[in-house]
Amino acid sequence: MNIFIVCVEMKNSTEIMVKTISNFLNNPLSKSIIRAICNECENCGNRLNLILRKYSGENISLCSKCGILYKTFSLIITSSAKTFGVSKNEMKEYLSDPIFRRGLVNVIRGISYYGITKPQVTYAPFLVVWDWTHVCNLKCKHCYINADKIFEDELTTEEAIKLVDQLAGCGVIALSFAGGEPLIRPDFFEVASYAKKKGFHISLATNGTLITKKIANGLKKIGVDYVEVSLDGVKPETHDSFRGVSGMFKNTLEGIRNCVEAGLCTCIATTVTKNNMEEVPEIYELSKKLGVQFLISFNFIPSGRGKDIVDLDITPQQREKLLNFIYEKMVSGSKPHVMCTAPQLGRVCMQKGNAIPTHFFTQQIAGKYAELCNFIGGCGAGRLYCSIEPNGDVQPCVILDDD
């Protein structure tokens, strides 16, 4: 799960957003306007969000001051968008998408606080990964949190709802439920549904073993945008030995099939180690056969339980082989779309003549999203992304070793 997915879900228009904002902030008048529209109006409320909604075509009444700011802002945004070949109607279409609009509000507020930076510092993280619980039905060898039992001070349902409200108030765009196994906690659907109604892009990181047809349809019904299911091999013995419980390979495949059948945007996530390195091409073919939209290769991180299997990390030679395979699949344009968390992929792409500033972008997208790559930069921990523990503690990243 990463910022790439969030940006793709924002109607693939984030490049226009970044260019447009940068363009209209190049003069003092625009800078004073942005400071004004980022302030709350005692009569109208969230001024910036209301102005963007009105620009998109919604019938919204504004007070006299907000009305003046709206007219001025409309002229600036229309003129700036036109500079990049985007019509007013196209901008209206982009801004009618709540996720895109939420992202634009976040970026503009960030600029009003920090100015234009590369990479950009936003007002709030785009993505918050919430380790919803540390309880899990598996015993994965690489588990970064050593998930096995409940936090004594795990947030109650009521506290979790309040946290969702706080994140919404800050302007966070995407909320990802992880763990542990999020579906074990009985109030998952209640809180995830509430978060969706608050306007979040909702994703779920799961081992897939609990996703029955009913659960998959339930996820679709509440509006979950993206489901990432862990699969570590094409052989039952490979997957099950890594996951620590026999018989889970079959359940995981069934969970993936149920997600695809329910119409959920589904991704298979594979942590590559010496145990499954040679199965990666077959995992790709299986992903294609299952009909998932994405396949992501995760670097093995020796955190939590993973400290005991450091020797399973692949060698530099194996990593080079893996990255070259990923590159070939990326540039082929075939599906599923392949992603990777290894920053070395950028170097491989540059050596092959396809410079990709941000490592998890595909070659097909990189040319169109040069500005977006500069905007996102490298690791976004504590800037574009952060994590929340089951008890509500905030960390820059889920892979943060207490030692």
Residue 369 lies in a domain: yes
The pLDDT, as a whole number, for residue 372 is: 58
Q: How many CB atoms lie within 10 A of CB 310?
A: 9
- Which of 65, 89, 114 is where one domain is finished? 114
Tokens of 47: 């001024």
233 and 262 in a single domain? The answer is yes
C-alpha count within 13 angstroms, C-beta hemisphere, residue 378:
5
Pick the range with the lowest mean pLDDT from 76-85, 159-168, 323-332: 76-85
293 and 376 in a single domain? The answer is yes
Q: Which residues contact 204 (CB under 8 A, 6 or more apart)?
A: 176, 177, 178, 182, 183, 192, 219, 224, 226, 227, 228
Is pLDDT above 90 for 24?
no
Is pLDDT above 90 for 98?
no
| H or E segment to which residue 131 belongs | strand 127-133
The pLDDT, as a whole number, for residue 357 is: 45
- Of 107, 108, 84, 88, residue with least CA distance to 96: 88
What range defines the domain where residue 299 resides? 127-395
133 and 227 in a single domain? The answer is yes
User: Residue 383 phi/psi, 5° resolution?
Assistant: -125, -65
240 and 196 in a single domain? The answer is yes
The pLDDT, as a whole number, for residue 247 is: 94
Dihedral angle computed from the Cα positions of residues 55, 57, 62 and 67, in that order, rounded to the nearest 10 degrees: 40
Residue 145 lies in a domain: yes
140 and 29 in a single domain? The answer is no
DSSP class of 392: S
- Give residue 16's pLDDT band: very low, low, confident or very high (50, 70, 90): low
**Share above pLDDT 70 across residues of the chain, in percent, rounded to a whole number:** 85
- Of 316, 329, 245, residue with least CA distance to 283: 329
12 burial type by CB count under 10 A (0-12 exposed, 13-18 middle, 19+ buried): middle
Looking at the 3D structure of the chain, how many domains does it have? 2
Peptide bond into 119 cis (omega under 30): yes
- Pairing state between β 385-388 and 394-395: antiparallel
The pLDDT, as a whole number, for residue 330 is: 85
Asked if residue 360 lies in contact with residue 299, where contact means CB atoms within 8 angstroms, the answer is no
- Which of 70, 88, 114 is where one domain is finished? 114
Tokens of 109: 């507020």
16 and 107 in a single domain? The answer is yes
Asked if residue 61 lies in contact with residue 29, where contact means CB atoms within 8 angstroms, the answer is no
The rounded distance, in Å, linking the Cα atoms of 289 and 298 is 21
- Tell me: the pLDDT tens digits for 257-313? 999 999 999 999 999 999 999 999 999 999 999 999 999 999 998 888 888 899 999
The pLDDT, as a whole number, for residue 374 is: 65
Tokens of 260: 């695809």
Q: How many CB atoms lie within 10 A of CB 246?
A: 10
Task: State the angle between helix axes of 98-114 and 14-24 in degrees (0 to 180), rounded to the nearest 10.
Answer: 40
324 and 259 in a single domain? The answer is yes
Tokens of 357: 């500033």
Residue 161 lies in a domain: yes
The pLDDT, as a whole number, for residue 167 is: 96
71 and 197 in a single domain? The answer is no
Is pLDDT above 70 for 20?
no
Asked if residue 338 lies in contact with residue 330, where contact means CB atoms within 8 angstroms, the answer is yes
- Tell me: the pLDDT tens digits for 224-263? 999 999 999 999 999 999 999 999 999 999 999 999 999 9
Is pLDDT above 50 for 1?
no
The pLDDT, as a whole number, for residue 19 is: 58
- Tell me: the pLDDT tens digits for 103-120? 888 888 888 888 777 787
- Which of 68, 88, 114 is where one domain is finished? 114
Q: Which residues contact 73 (CB under 8 A, 6 or more apart)?
A: 33, 37, 51, 55
Residue 119 lies in a domain: no
- Domain with residue 189: its CATH number is 3.20.20.70
89 and 168 in a single domain? The answer is no
Residue 248 lies in a domain: yes
The pLDDT, as a whole number, for residue 366 is: 47
138 and 66 in a single domain? The answer is no
The pLDDT, as a whole number, for residue 90 is: 84
Residue 400 lies in a domain: no
86 and 136 in a single domain? The answer is no
Pick the range with the lowest mean pLDDT from 235-239, 376-380, 383-387: 376-380
192 and 283 in a single domain? The answer is yes
The pLDDT, as a whole number, for residue 22 is: 60
Residue 120 lies in a domain: no
Q: Which residues contact 8 (CB under 8 A, 6 or more apart)?
A: none
